[in-house]
């Protein structure tokens, strides 16, 4: 079973400013990588780069953030294409989600993930056959 990992989980993996969440994010990531069930999207990788270089209290140098993104790009990555964007717009309207959250949901569904690891959506809720799990709860 695949698990889709949202940007916020990956940010905590790198952010030493939240040691408890960093520890948990690393546990989750290591487990998923070991089981080869980790999946991401191009959106997640882009958001991670921006967050690491611009939004942390102690931002990463662009080259360091780019290396981090490169290391993650070895895992399955769902591309963001026109059909995915259209499905996300439909899901956004139907589920009353932000477009960006709907794009994450649709990428997870596209990847065949059974779970979406995030703290941005309601834990336990299912969208398109993907169940939201807050790994920090």
pLDDT digits (tens, 9 = 90+) for 96-116: 999 999 999 999 999 999 999
Query: Could you name the CATH architecture of 2-132?
Result: 3-Layer(aba) Sandwich (3.40)
Q: Determine how β-strand 2-5 pairs with β-strand 126-127.
A: unpaired
The confidence score (pLDDT) of residue 86 equals 98
Domain positions in the chain are: 2-132
pLDDT digits (tens, 9 = 90+) for 2-35: 999 999 999 999 999 999 999 999 999 999 999 9
Alpha-helix residue ranges (DSSP H) falling in 36-98: 42-50, 62-72, 82-95
| Residue tagged 């649709």 (tokens) | 106
């Amino acid at each position: 079973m695949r698990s889709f990992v949202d940007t916020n989980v990956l940010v905590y993996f790198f952010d030493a400013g939240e040691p408890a969440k960093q520890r948990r994010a690393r546990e989750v990531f290591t487990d998923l990588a070991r089981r080869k069930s980790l999946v991401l999207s191009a959106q997640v990788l882009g958001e991670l780069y921006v967050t690491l270089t611009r939004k942390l209290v102690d931002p990463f140098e662009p080259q360091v953030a780019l290396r981090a993104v490169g290391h993650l790009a070895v895992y399955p990555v769902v591309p963001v294409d026109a059909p995915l964007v259209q499905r996300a717009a439909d899901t956004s309207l139907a589920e009353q989600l932000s477009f960006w959250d709907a794009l994450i949901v649709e990428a997870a569904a596209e990847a065949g993930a059974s779970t979406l690891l995030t703290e941005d959506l309601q834990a336990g809720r299912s969208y398109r056959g993907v169940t939201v799990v807050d790994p920090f709860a």
